[in-house]
Amino acid sequence: MATATRRLLPTLLRTLTGTRHAGAARGFATGKAVGAAAVVGSHTAKWMQDTSKKSPMELINEVPPIKVEGRIAACEGDKNPALGHPIEYICLDLEAPAVCKYCGLRYVQDHHH
């Protein structure tokens, strides 16, 4: 089985990438990895320079912590699943608000006994 996999892997890489170089398939030889970092850097710098608009971090910090009954919050990022992120289950045992690692929404346990 391992021998067959070793024989098929180079063929599969050539088919998917259209090249004979394994390094090019990973973006090393073509410089795509370096180009992607430049695009991300310029995009971030563009919205950080415009001081008339709030940054995404500022906007998400304006949302008050969401009160949840129980000890576990399930965050999807949006009510519409197509616009959200993978579901993250957040433990609310601490006093401080728990933060979703994907969208930054904060959750607290609702103590209304």
Per-residue pLDDT in tens (0 to 9) along the chain, 113 residues: 566 556 666 665 565 555 444 444 444 445 555 555 566 567 667 766 777 888 888 889 999 999 999 999 999 988 888 888 999 999 998 788 999 999 999 999 987 65
Query: What is the DSSP secondary structure assignment for residue 69, as one 8-state letter?
Result: S
Task: Decide if domain 56-109 falls under CATH 3.40.50.
Answer: no
**Closest Cα to residue 85, out of 100, 98, 97?**
100
Q: Both tokens of residue 38?
A: 């430049």
Residues counted in the chain: 113
This model's pTM is above 0.75: no
Domain boundaries, the chain: 2-49, 56-109
**Closest Cα to residue 44, out of 29, 56, 35, 32?**
56
Identify whether the C-beta of residue 71 lies closer than 8 Å to the C-beta of residue 91.
yes
Torsions phi, psi for 98 (to 5 deg): -90, 140
